[in-house]
A and B are shown apart, each in its own frame.
Chain A
Amino acid sequence: MASTIKIRAKSKSGTTTVKALFSHPMETGNRKDKKTGDKIPAHHITEITAEYNGSVVFTAQMGPAVSKNPYLSFKFKGGSSGEKIKITWVDNKGKGDSLEATIK
Chain B
Amino acid sequence: MNDIRRKFLKSAAGLGGIAAAIGTGLLMPQRAFAAYLEDAFHATDVSAALIGAEGSDQHTPSDQIKLKAPDIAENGAVVPVTVSSTLPNVESISIIATENPSPLAASFQLSAMSEAYVSTRIKMGKTSNVIAVVKSDGKLYSATQEVKVTIGGCGG
Contacts and interface: CB of A to CB of B under 8 A. Distances in A.
Interface residues of A, number: 31
A14 B100 CA distance: 38
B122 A67 contact: yes
Contacts, number: 104
Interface residues of B, number: 35
Nearest to A65: B105
A55 B77 CA distance: 33
A66 B123 contact: yes
A55 B111 contact: yes
Contact of B111 (A58, A61, A72, A73): A58
Given A67-B78, A71-B80, 7 more contacts: A52-B113, A55-B30, A56-B33, A63-B102, A70-B120, A71-B121, A75-B115
Interface of B: 29-30, 33-34, 36-37, 41, 77-80, 82, 97, 100-102, 104-111, 113-115, 117-124
16 contacts: A15-B115, A28-B101, A30-B101, A55-B111, A58-B108, A60-B108, A60-B118, A61-B37, A65-B122, A66-B105, A67-B77, A72-B119, A73-B82, A73-B118, A76-B113, A77-B115
